[in-house]
Amino acid sequence: MGVTAIEIRGVTKTYRLGDVQVEALKGVDLSIASGEFVAVMGPSGSGKSTLMNILGCLDRPSAGSYRLDGEEIGTLSRDGRAVIRRNKLGFVFQGFNLLPRLSAQENVELPMVYDSTPASVRREKAGKALASVGLAERAHHLPSQLSGGQQQRVAIARAIVNTPSLLLADEPTGNLDSATSDEIMGIFQRLNDVLGITLVVVTHEPDIALFARRVIRFRDGNLVEDHPVAGRRRPPAADGIGA
């Protein structure tokens, strides 16, 4: 760690709802080093989801600067942001977002289909990604044949198959029980510890935030807390994960 992956300076985001202006972010400054694992917390309407949309190149700030790996992102066109999403970012969502008629393997291959990657390369990379989350033996199962935790592992494999430099996860344990949530957070820890992927995870749950290395908290569009995690949680080792 040490090299800055994310640098945000004076970022504001204002939405207009009819005649009303809503300030979702109010001059936020934030730096995240390459290889960090950051949990983002805050109540609904605090600005954390707006921040994630900006980090994920899904939206642009109204003012201020967002640099990713030294490149100014905030002023890029829609097409320019799409290139960054494809080449540098991975996304994991609360709802898994798997296509129900495709197998786990085929779901993981999807980002490479859009990239025109040859089929043989797609199969090899998807297989490795599934193995890295402990699902090699479930590659040909449909989402309906998998548990919620297994579906989220497929979603993680899909997010990392193109080796992103930044992985963004929005409430990734929101649909899971506590034991499965711990298992998923353990996978995130391994991706961070072993592969060095920079991770930013939004969560409402303080016990989930303790898997990260650092916690930042938003309130009313302002970054109000930023501190390292003391007493970091570690889940029990899961068979097959990290092989």
Looking at the domain assignment, is residue 186 inside a domain?
Answer: yes
128-129-133 Cα angle (round to 5): 110
**H-run or E-run covering 46:** none
Q: pLDDT at position 237, please?
A: 63
- The number of folded domains in the chain is 1
d(CA 242, CA 134): 7
Q: State pLDDT tens for residues 44-87.
A: 889 999 999 999 999 899 999 999 999 999 788 889 888 899 88
Q: pLDDT at position 76, please?
A: 86
Q: pLDDT at position 139, please?
A: 94
Looking at the domain assignment, is residue 133 inside a domain?
Answer: no
Read off the pTM.
Answer: 0.91
Phi then psi dihedrals of residue 242, to 5 deg = 90, 10
Looking at the domain assignment, is residue 56 inside a domain?
Answer: yes
Looking at the domain assignment, is residue 29 inside a domain?
Answer: yes
Q: Domain holding 53: CATH number?
A: 3.40.50.300
Examine the pLDDT at 4 and tell me if it is beyond 70.
yes
CB 44 within 8 A of CB 55: no
Model confidence at 121, pLDDT cuts 50, 70, 90, reads: very high
Examine the pLDDT at 133 and tell me if it is beyond 70.
yes
Residue 192: domain span: 4-97+163-228
Looking at the domain assignment, is residue 208 inside a domain?
Answer: yes
Lowest mean pLDDT among 8-17, 104-113, 114-123, 199-208: 114-123
Looking at the domain assignment, is residue 239 inside a domain?
Answer: no
Looking at the domain assignment, is residue 179 inside a domain?
Answer: yes
Model confidence at 2, pLDDT cuts 50, 70, 90, reads: low
Model confidence at 117, pLDDT cuts 50, 70, 90, reads: confident
